[in-house]
Structure 1
């Protein structure tokens, strides 16, 4: 009931690429429910967590989803590209194609967090880029919910 009474928010959902199928299904359900209740979902385009977020949000309301890529769409893996080509609100950063993916991802995560009011993150204890994103969000005084897979 509290979830439904809360005003809609911009919620960033980020996480690891290496996610067991069962966890992906839970993330997809969470994303679906958040989008269905009027929230705007922001994520990136990687496999794993982000693909699950995209599936859930698109199923609820494709207009509620914004995907921000760390690099261009053409630089994404083929299996991600197929899903991303149908996203209504897709932001590419081809100017970052020359950067290593980890550096481009840090910039991308920060952009996503800056646009959001809240961050939900799914990580492992050694997911340095994601943990850095959580710290960045906390430093910006965003609401941060961090789930660990391990």
Structure 2
């Protein structure tokens, strides 16, 4: 009998640990993302589904209120219900000057309940150049504009929200800090 112990070798495929898709491509991008995360006051975009339970809307409203109280600015779009409406309510309660609403089209093209909600918001961006587009097409462009202006994206959606998944993919492509909440 020898004094050598039997060696057991376990082979683990490296592919399981090689998830470089989430890694920044350069050290500059890594430094930029780290600086964004550590920055105390950020421009945060909040977008998401229109079809939300009241409890989810209350959570979004409370989160937005807290983010604004911490010094952050909020960018969102219009909406009479759902994510955008909750973000607007939360920001308006905390500090209306920290809110920017980017509409997919014009105020006049919004339903009357959305127009009512927009009263008193000091910073609204309209797009009459998109007046002839479908709302779906104008909204896709609007989401990209919102993402381009922010440093961080927070998105509330279901797994079947195709348009919002595309917005998230775009935000990741342009190296934004992305936080996703699935509501289903």
Larger relative strand fraction: 1
Aligned to 1:30: 63
**CA deviation digits over 1:88-145, x for unaligned, max 9?**
0000111111111111001000001000000000011111111111000000010101
Aligned to 2:175: 141
Alpha-carbon RMSD across the aligned residues, in angstroms, is 1.0
Equivalent residue for 2:75, pick from 16, 30, 42: 42
Which runs of 5 or more residues in structure 2 are unaligned? 1-37
- In structure 1, C-alpha distance between the alignment counterparts of 2:131 and 2:160, rounded to whole Å: 25
SS of residue matched to 2:52: coil
- In structure 1, C-alpha distance between the alignment counterparts of 2:121 and 2:141, rounded to whole Å: 21
Equivalent residue for 2:49, pick from 3, 10, 16: 16
Equivalent residue for 1:62, pick from 96, 103, 113: 96
Q: Output the TM-score relative to the length of structure 2.
A: 0.77
Greater mean deviation of Cα atoms: 78-87 or 53-62: 78-87
Q: Output the TM-score relative to the length of structure 1.
A: 0.95
**CA deviation digits over 1:6-44, x for unaligned, max 9?**
510000000101010000000000000001110010000
- In structure 2, C-alpha distance between the alignment counterparts of 1:7 and 1:58, rounded to whole Å: 20
The count of corresponding residues between Structure 1 and Structure 2 is 146
